[in-house]
Structure 1
Amino acid sequence: MRILVANDDGIFSPGIKALAFALRELGEVRVVAPDVEQSGVGHSITFRRPLRFKHTAAAGFGEIPAYRVDGTPADCVVLGSQLLGRPDVVVSGINIGVNMGLDLTHSGTVAAALEGTSLGIPSIAFSLDASGEELRFEEAARYAVPLVRWVLEHGLPPKTLLNVNFPNRTPLGLRITRLSTHRYEDQVVARTDPEGRPYYWLAGQPTAEMEEGTDFWAVQQGYISVTPITLDYTDYAFAALLEGRLTLEGLCSG
């Protein structure tokens, strides 16, 4: 089995290292990750400049082939799949910090799995709650192995990936969850540089409602959260409601 491991925290992140080493028992692991942190870039693809794809021995992966890319997480999956052979599964993470609810719209970790899914490859995104003094990547990676094994054995539906969030503790169990209201309340911090010119920081604090059955609830309660995510964003119920009610003739006559 070929396993492609990517992330958005960069090639030197301890999370991707723990995940790559743990997955060796399942097959041939290849690591392709950004050369610098790419958190928050979402599902962006680089197409207006060339990309560099370099083997690296300095990241500490030992015998696991590891490559760094001066691009986005999605770029890493595209290049890894094309240049190293099509993998049987794409695994992204383990991210430093959870990716839940509306975080998914800008998460580079989830974007790597989205790209794998769009290529028709079963894909999983892994993230770890960053609360606490010590981040338990190795323990999370041990629980990631049976999840990846299950996907390799059973596959996933078309256009569907798994978004997995670990509590930063020994989990009480696993829950199949839905997306929560988890999001960042954005704010703009205005400052001035030494020459008197304004610049801005986009900042924010995470917020979510504690609703049972959601990814946020599960992680807060100490469970591993597994949320199936589909690439089909169509709201079929609303589309059916609009059918016959929203027409070009009706809009122009109104």
Structure 2
Amino acid sequence: MSDDLEILLTNDDGIDSTGIRALYDALSAHANVTVVAPADDRSACGRSLSHEVEVDDHELGYAVHGTPADCVVAGLAELGPFPDLVVAGCNKGANLGEYVLGRSGTISAAVEAAFFDVPAIATSLYVPIDDTPFAEIEMTADDYTEATRVTTYLAERALEAGVFEHAAYLNVNVPLPEGEAAPIEITRPSKRYEMDAERDGTHVTLHDRVWDDMAPDALPDPEGTDRRAVVEGRISVSPLTAPHSTNHHEALDELADGYSSH
């Protein structure tokens, strides 16, 4: 990685999270890294944008009182040098499957960068869930060793390799480190979607059931998907595109043609 490489680093867990500090330390050893990240946790906010945000100086860069998408727009258009690459993460918790692509703040930062024609890498750490509430699970810098290693590897090589001539951004999901380095598998997002809701009086509780079936021996996701790769201990790298494509079809053409005579 060249010291001349400019990287904008953001996340959705907040600028004081362990994951972004781990990535900053790894990337800044070889590149010029400007951090523009939310002042607090803005997980699962998608591409929500603000009209105006406050910005504070921070030892890592800039703390923005807004969303990850706010951070990317502010960072690219005003706060930092225009980068060669945007990196989002490292997120505590995986971002797996098609349905999270519009929901995750981490992924949304990468998508926002794509609209600026800046390639991006979104990196998330898969944290297996047990009986401990997820918010109470504490991560250390060592837990992000594999995530920072693969992100640095991709940042060093993906641009020159021409990866971003075919993909707008990479969605990277990494298992917890276990001795030897995990291999990379190029994957596609899983299509599983298992949301439901339950009403109790004036309240409706939403449940994401996808995470209920993550045991390796019972995982229903097929080979080649991001969920199967990371649960089985491999690093999932999904090359994705933005903006979203359209599917032009004659059935809709016929409806359009018949509208004026309706």
User: TM-score of the superposition, structure 1-length normalised?
Assistant: 0.83
Q: Does 1:128 align with 2:137?
A: no
Counterpart code for 1:179: P
Q: Among 85, 88, 91, which residue is 1:92 paired with?
A: 88
More strand by share: 1
SS at match of 2:209: strand
Shift of the 182–26 alpha-carbon distance from structure 1 to 2, 3 Å rule, reads farther
Shift of the 230–242 alpha-carbon distance from structure 1 to 2, 3 Å rule, reads farther
- In structure 2, the partner of 1:140 is 147
Q: Distance in 1 between matches of 2:150 and 2:88?
A: 14
- In structure 2, the partner of 1:195 is none
Q: Is the 1:162–1:226 Cα contact (8 Å) retained in structure 2?
A: yes
Q: Distance in 1 between matches of 2:103 and 2:110?
A: 13
Counterpart code for 1:15: G
* CA RMSD, 1 decimal: 2.3
Q: Distance in 1 between matches of 2:127 and 2:55?
A: 30
Q: Distance in 2 between matches of 1:152 and 1:159?
A: 11
1:71-100 per-residue CA deviation (whole Å, 9 max, x = no partner) reads 110100111112212111000001111111
SS at match of 2:29: helix
Q: Is the 1:53–1:68 Cα contact (8 Å) retained in structure 2?
A: yes
- In structure 1, the partner of 2:45 is 41
1:210 CA drift (Å):
1.9
**Which stretches in structure 1 are left out of the alignment for 5+ residues?**
58-64, 192-197
Q: Does 1:79 align with 2:74?
A: yes
Counterpart code for 2:108: A
Q: Does 1:167 align with 2:175?
A: yes
Shift of the 168–182 alpha-carbon distance from structure 1 to 2, 3 Å rule, reads farther
Percentage of identical aligned residues: 37
Equivalent positions of 1:193-232 (< 5 A) are 198-207=202-211, 209-232=220-243
Q: Distance in 2 between matches of 1:199 and 1:16?
A: 35
1:243 CA drift (Å):
6.3
Q: Is the 1:118–1:159 Cα contact (8 Å) retained in structure 2?
A: no
Q: Among 52, 55, 70, which residue is 1:53 paired with?
A: 55
- In structure 2, the partner of 1:153 is 160
**Which stretches in structure 2 are left out of the alignment for 5+ residues?**
130-136, 214-219
